[in-house]
Amino acid sequence: MATTDRQARTLALAHALSAAERGLAVIPLSRTKLPALRSPHRAGPDPGPGPAGRPCHGECGRFGHGVYDASTDPVRIRELFAAAPWATGYGIACGLPPYHLIGVDLDTKSGTDSSAALRELALRHLFTIPETVVVLTPSGGRHLWLAGPPDTVVPNSAGRLAPGIDIRGAGGYLVGPGSRTDHGVYTAAPGTAHLAPAPCPPSLLRLLLPPPRAPHPAHPPTGGHGQGLVQFVLAAHEGQRNTRLFWAACRAYENGIGPALVAPLVAAARDTGLTEREARATIASAARLTGNRP
């Protein structure tokens, strides 16, 4: 390894440990700004869902799960960097306590003036960006660090707020100041390195959150056994939706309430993620199997 690479890794580790002292969870990054450690599952079979029914996010105990490896423990951080001696930077996980960090990435590569777009949003929605940590990127962009409320999950987004403005939220990370990449070094803007992330203005926070989901229309009352069949379909998980719908439709036709239950069953199936076309096709199959006309 070249001396400059060893120096870059040493500096990256030092900066990462310094960030961890401030409560920021970190991971090692390569020169491409990607997590330096590859997934331990890439060459093997799918590890299957973890304890919470989702893909492995580090429950296996090995490194290589991206932002899910992030830690503030200096021992673990040294282990992460030791496992990735090619790392020349570090990422700071967003959305974690104590700051629940939100990153506002003002890009320059889109051909738009993202700083002007943010100022326009601030004027329109009556908020000001507080004095906070600002990180300068090698391309001339800026990362603004803001603190979010602990009970709110801010999603990642690209260009949704305005062209050239990306948001780093829960499950994302920011390249930490002091990181060296293929395009240069990330640095803290003068006078901001000592600051803590300032609270995100409430008006801006509302813009960062996804719009609330429209309430599902109430299912028509079916009474008795029919309502139980509708609830049976509503309780279906992915992988069992068609099976539950088919079973419920068969029982409905066998009990003489099939035609009256078609609309509620379709509505329930759509709630679970099936399309109306899929739901009606499944119900029609049940009707045929039970000797009824769809």
pLDDT digit string, tens, across residues 61-92: 788 888 999 999 999 999 999 999 999 999 99
Q: What CATH number does residue 156 fall under?
A: 3.30.2250
CA 17 to chain centre: 25
Mapped onto helix, strand or coil, the DSSP state of residue 187 is strand
Q: Is residue 217 part of a domain?
A: no
Taking only the tens place, the pLDDT of each residue in 148-165 is: 999 889 999 988 888 899
Model pTM score: 0.69
| End position of a domain, from candidates 190, 212, 234 | 212
pLDDT-based confidence at residue 242 (cuts at 50, 70, 90):
confident
**Tally of domains in the chain:** 3
CA–CA dist 143, 133 (Å, integer): 8
In terms of pLDDT, which residue wins out, 196 or 58?
Answer: 196
Mapped onto helix, strand or coil, the DSSP state of residue 70 is coil
| Amino acid at position 269, single letter | A
Q: Is residue 294 part of a domain?
A: no
In terms of pLDDT, which residue wins out, 222 or 12?
Answer: 12
What pLDDT was estimated at residue 108?
81
Q: Is residue 78 part of a domain?
A: yes
235 lies in which domain range? 224-289
Q: Is residue 62 part of a domain?
A: yes
CA 271 to chain centre: 22
pLDDT cut 90: percent of the chain above it: 53
Q: Is residue 218 part of a domain?
A: no
